[in-house]
Amino acid sequence: MRRRGRVGKPFPCVDCDRSFCTSYQLTRHQLNHSGAKPHKCRADGCVEAFVTHSSMKNHMVKTHQNQGKPCKCDRRGCGKDFNKKYQLKAHMCEHTKLLPFHCTVTDCTREFPSRGKLEHHKKVHEGYPCEEDGCPFQGKTWSEYQTHKKEHRVKLPCDKCQKKFSNNRFLHLHVLHVHLGVKKELACPHKCGKSFTRQFNLESHVLSQHDGVRAFSCASPGCGKSFAMKKPPSKNNQPSCKAAPVKAAPTSAECLTLAAKLGRTKLADS
């Protein structure tokens, strides 16, 4: 009997193939594509910046607040310190050149400073067997195993056109919009009278017409066109402009817009 598949992630990113469970996670992920890092380190003299507030706080704690770590190396001239004893123990191997954890597989002479690294190495010999009943596949790497897992995902066919979808929500939306002709209307939040059938088009309209953000410029010499968002490829892979738009350096307006959007989005949004 096969295992139950993962719950669908209904918020896809238009710039890559990742999807997310909530709009908050999608918005936070989009900051990575924009290059925006609105959260600056608050320590004097530190120029580090981060995508999320939590990343900035982690940096503050690890870099600026934990000045006195409890586990110090007693080797003369070293002076390194660590939060955990096992970290210090692994570090001491750099001085002694003796690695305490040895691979026990025949003909393998690899040695490691910590048990965790040894356990990770063992996967090179053991591989990653498929967990599906009756499947003999065994991946040599984690990435190879993850790619194979996609072959076991059961897709749901549409009974009208036989297109297949990864979850019920996408199938329902397909039937609703394609076969029943129901078009969703997304009104502009600025109440300018415009409405759209796609979230991408709505966000592009808001950024370009109301926020004045056009962070993507055409790479074709002499074109001069700019875009609020990077348009996803169409079915025939023909973009609206002759040259595919390439991303320019993020503007301060774009950084502020995405940061404000992330702040307005609740964790529970889905």
Number of H helices, E strands in the chain: 8, 17
- From CA 123, how far away is CA 249, in angstroms rounded? 41
Residue 124 has pLDDT above 50, yes or no: yes
Phi-psi region of 165 (alpha: psi -120 to 50; beta: other; left: phi over 0): beta
Domain 11-62 in CATH 3.30.160.60: yes
pLDDT at 71: 79
| CB half-sphere exposure, 110, CA atoms < 13 A | 15
- Give the pLDDT mean for 13-31: 81
**pLDDT score, position 242:** 45
Spatial distance between the Cα atoms of 83 and 28, rounded to a whole number of angstroms: 30
Model pTM greater than 0.75? Answer: no
Domain(s) of CATH 3.30.160.60: residues in the chain: 11-62
